[in-house]
Each structure stands twice: as C-alpha cells, then as structure tokens.
Structure 1
Amino acid sequence: MLDVYSLEIGFYAVLAFVLLAVKIYAFVSSLTFSAGSYEAAGKLTKPTWTILLGLGVVLQVLLLNNPIGILNLIFTIAAIVYLVDVRPAMAGLRRR
C-alpha cells in the first residue's frame, strides 16, 4: 500500500532533481558566452550572471532538503530568466 508520505517524498526528490538540472544547465551555459556577448545583448555582465547562477546551484546542493524554499525559488526564477531571455539574446548575436 502506498502512503501519502512516501509519495510526497518522491515528488520532492524529483522536483529537486529537475530544479538542480535546470540551474546547472543555466550555469554551464552562462560560462560558454564571452563577456562581450552580454554587453552586446544589453544584459547584466558575465560575472554577475555566473555568480548568481553558480550561487543558486551551490545553495540548492547545500539546502537540498527543501526544493520549494524561498531561496531556491528565487534562484530558480533567475535561472529561468537567464534561459528564456538572456541566452536567446546572446545566441542571436552569434548567428549574425
């Protein structure tokens, strides 16, 4: 018989893994662009984004027991903003 507690633990484990994967992908992606790309796209600087995204990865690894905590949600939003707004703007500059 499946109880609610084990279902909740499984859900949090999957959620934590997905959020960590998104943050790691965003962090590694931020390292691949040059500092000039950030400036040309009119976004925050490369050190700002890499520190922000790297800090999000580190904090999630340290605070893994709470995937929906306020700090984790803030850094997840930052990673999503990077992936949805900043990365496409810089990728568009490469194609030109």
Structure 2
Amino acid sequence: MLMLGFTGFLGLLKIVLMALAAFALVDAAIRREDAYRAADKQNKMFWLIILGIALVVSYLFSILSILPIAGVIASIVYIVDVRPALKQVSGGRGWGRRGGSSSDGPYGPYNGGR
C-alpha cells in the first residue's frame, strides 16, 4: 500500500516537472531572437534545444534518474534567470500582455493618492 502511494506521488511529480519544462519551452519559443542577444544570454536555438531535450527526457526516464534532474535544473535556470532578463529587455511583453507602466494598477494608473 505504501509503495502504491509512493508510485502515485512520483507519477504526479513527473507530470509537474514535464509541465515545467513544457512551459519553459513554449516561453522560449515565443521570445524574440534579438532579446536573447540584448539580454546577454545564450541564443534562442540553444535554449529551445536544451528545453526540448529536458521535456523529452522527463517523459522517457524515471524521475529518480540523473537526466530528468538535469532537465529540471535547466528549466529552472531558464525560468528564474533567462526569462526575467528577456522580459526586462523586451519591456515585459509576452503571452499577450499589453504595455503599461509599473505604476499601473488593475483599474488604471496608481499615483499614490497625489
């Protein structure tokens, strides 16, 4: 009974890690090539290959293997380091986001009660 629960947990963890890699791959695919150069990061093709391999490896291998762990690390590096740099260079645009100021609230500009 305990092993069945552990297997279910590992299956759920595998799905979460695949979703993380898929999100990073799709996000890397929609970013512009020149944003990678402007942010001084590896080029777009590099990240597409690494994140594609991470997605395939997380699907094919057991989560307890070293390859899916390396894929998770690559996905986390992209999401935590590369993605914010790309968003900063491209003005925060992505995923259909409209432009706006950093002081904009949900109902318009917020100017601190002035």
Q: State the distance in 2 between where 1:35 and 1:94 align.
A: 11
Identify the match of residue 42 of structure 1 among 25, 40, 43: 40
What TM-score do the two structures reach when normalised by structure 2?
Answer: 0.77
Instruction: Provide the secondary structure at the position in 1 that maps to 2:90.
Output: helix
CA RMSD of aligned residues (A): 1.1
Q: Please list every run of 5 or more consecutive structure 2 residues that lacks an aligned counterpart in the other structure.
A: 93-114
- Segments of 4+ moved more than 4 angstroms: none
Note the C-alpha offset of 1:68. Answer: 2.7
Identify the match of residue 87 of structure 2 among 80, 84, 91: 91
Percent identical pairs in the alignment equals 35
Q: State the distance in 2 between where 1:43 and 1:68 align.
A: 30
* 1:13-72 CA distance string (max 9 Å, x none): 111010000000000000011111101000011110000000111122222xx1131000
Identify the match of residue 64 of structure 2 among 51, 64, 68: 68
Larger proportion of helix: 1
What TM-score do the two structures reach when normalised by structure 1?
Answer: 0.91
Higher relative contact order (CA 8 A, sep 6+): 1
Map 1:17-56 → 2, pairs under 5 A: 17-56=15-54
Q: Across the two proteins, how many residue pairs are aligned to each other?
A: 92
